[in-house]
Structure 1
Amino acid sequence: MRLQGKVAVATGVCGGIGLSIVRKLVNEGARVVAVDLSQESLDKLQKDYGDEVVTVAADVTRYDQVEAMIQKAVDHFGQVDILINNAGIASPKPLLEHDPDKDFDGITAVNQKGVYHGILAAGKAMKKQGRGGVIINTSSVYGTMASELSFTYNVSKAAVDMMTKCAALEYGPQKIRVCAVAPGRVDTPMLHQYKDIGLWDHIKREQMRNEFTQPEEIADVIAFLASDEANCINGTTVSAGDGFESFKYPLLPG
């Protein structure tokens, strides 16, 4: 088990990727502080685990609450070695139909400000411990690609990529690695919003292998990045898009 003896904090744990992250971390030997906005959802998650997991309801847009979730790891498990900034939201909508408060400020607060809060709070705690650590941010292939219906989401993930680079540079002397994973289209409730607007079959055909990535596959990548096996990966965003960035929608049937 590659994470034996490690303590991880993970946000956004009650969604598709988040649930898989918690399961993978525990299976790899880590003890986990599982964070989400809904205590009710966290209570359901807690039933699946024993002493390896403790849950915290927190709003990542509030820095005091992010500090508290990091402190929970220290108080309950005695340390914090890994932070996974996974909380994120999206709402497909054409740019010209945006309500700035909801469709820019709201998404930016979670996807961008929330990651910043995590990087800052975890960095301070890890520096105080004096033995380094790993911070992993959930980005997206859309951090480097333009697409319709997802203006703010793309912008926020581009910011995550840059925050990853800048934090890695500043935290390097503290032996704290900062990296990110960029999922492509993953079969999660967030992606299922495209069913509601009639684009599900279309976006599935756009995949290189005509199938969506599964949440467990992203969790596998995150567990690797959190491990000592990934010690040379720092300040970079690792693509987990199944080649999505590398080709255009095929003209010929597969």
Structure 2
Amino acid sequence: MRLTGKTAIITGGASGFGAGIVRKFTAEGAKVMIADIDPFGARDLADQMGDHAIACEVDVSDEASVASMARAALDTWGHVDVLVNNAGVTHLPTPLEDVSEADFDRVVAVNMKSVYLTARALVPHMKDNKSGCILNIASTAGISPRPRLSWYNASKGWMITASKAMAVELAADGVRVNALCPVAGETPLLKSFMGEDTPEMRAKFLATIPIGRFSTPQDMGNAACYLCSDEASMITGTALEVDGGRCI
């Protein structure tokens, strides 16, 4: 019960890595807001978590929507201890010069602007409390980029740098900021990363991961739980690779 008494907002929490983090956090005693653009998926998962979770529809690229999410959490709990910026998108594997402007703008808005918007909405509250933890879900793509995912890679590199910059600035206010860098996992984005989900493509992808398997939602939940718990009170500004050795 490492998160007993803590409250957490998890964006993109209805599926994939986000759902794994939701399940782990509730199992460890946290009260969780499952914030997702898919209201039905968020409500379904919240119902499974019982009294430990609430659902909130949010577009993390929209300032008014993010502000409404933050208000709902504060109105419900009175305080927010943990923010997990998990919501993310990618463009399909494409030569960098052929990615459409609309796809580029969507990657920037969801993967990058969202971190800015959630910070505007919740950092003042954490500063006032002299306590808080922000966890940004980055990617090994931000450390060791793959070809044909250039603008997605860049957005995750940005997130790693943003996490470190936020950590340095907010440390004196008692707020810790870290990032997690998973390798691709069994999530709705896997097919988008690979271009096509075939046994051949999976084998090719897995050949780059020394441990020989994809990241799982459980892997991410376990790592996130540690970094957001008091056990990690001396850890800020790190980008933890949860990648089975992919970045070695």
TM-score band, normalised by shorter chain = over 0.9
Deviations 1:52-74 (A, max 9, x none): 11111000001222122122221
- 1:165 corresponds to: 164
Distance 1:57 1:211 in 2: 32
- 2:53 corresponds to: 53
Q: Check the 8 A contact 1:33/1:72 in 2, yes or no.
A: no
Q: Check the 8 A contact 2:209/2:243 in 1, yes or no.
A: no
The correspondence for 2:219, drawn from 217, 224, 229, is 217
Q: How does 1:59-70 map to 2 (within 5 A)?
A: 59-70=59-70
- Are residues 1:86 and 2:100 paired? no
Q: How does 1:139-158 map to 2 (within 5 A)?
A: 139-158=138-157
- 1:3 corresponds to: 3
Q: Check the 8 A contact 1:70/1:125 in 2, yes or no.
A: no
Q: Check the 8 A contact 1:24/1:220 in 2, yes or no.
A: yes
- 1:37 corresponds to: 37
Distance 2:65 2:165 in 1: 23
- 1:250 corresponds to: none
The correspondence for 2:202, drawn from 185, 200, 215, is 200
Q: Check the 8 A contact 2:211/2:245 in 1, yes or no.
A: no
Amino acid of the structure 1 residue aligned with 2:72 = K
More displaced stretch, 141-150 vs 31-40 = 141-150
- 2:14 corresponds to: 14
Distance 1:179 1:111 in 2: 15
Distance 2:195 2:144 in 1: 22
Question: What TM-score, normalized by structure 1, do the two folds share?
Answer: 0.92
CA positional deviation for 1:117: 1.4
How many residues are aligned here?
244
- 1:251 corresponds to: none
Distance 1:16 1:8 in 2: 17
Deviations 1:77-116 (A, max 9, x none): 12100000000011222223211122x1111110011122
Query: Which segments of 5 or more consecutive residues in structure 2 lack a partner in the other structure?
Result: none
The correspondence for 1:240, drawn from 232, 239, 242, is 242
Deviations 1:180-212 (A, max 9, x none): 111112221211332626522210222212221
Q: Check the 8 A contact 1:116/1:163 in 2, yes or no.
A: no
Q: Check the 8 A contact 2:9/2:35 in 1, yes or no.
A: yes
Report sequence identity in percent.
32
Distance 1:195 1:148 in 2: 12
Supply the RMSD in Å over aligned alpha carbons: 1.4
Distance 2:112 2:68 in 1: 19
- 1:101 corresponds to: 102
Question: What TM-score, normalized by structure 2, do the two folds share?
Answer: 0.94
Distance 1:118 1:143 in 2: 21
Q: Check the 8 A contact 1:132/1:175 in 2, yes or no.
A: yes
Distance 2:148 2:240 in 1: 24
Secondary structure, aligned partner of 1:238: strand
Amino acid of the structure 2 residue aligned with 1:245 = C
Distance 1:53 1:164 in 2: 26
Deviations 1:7-43 (A, max 9, x none): 0010001221111111100001000111000112222
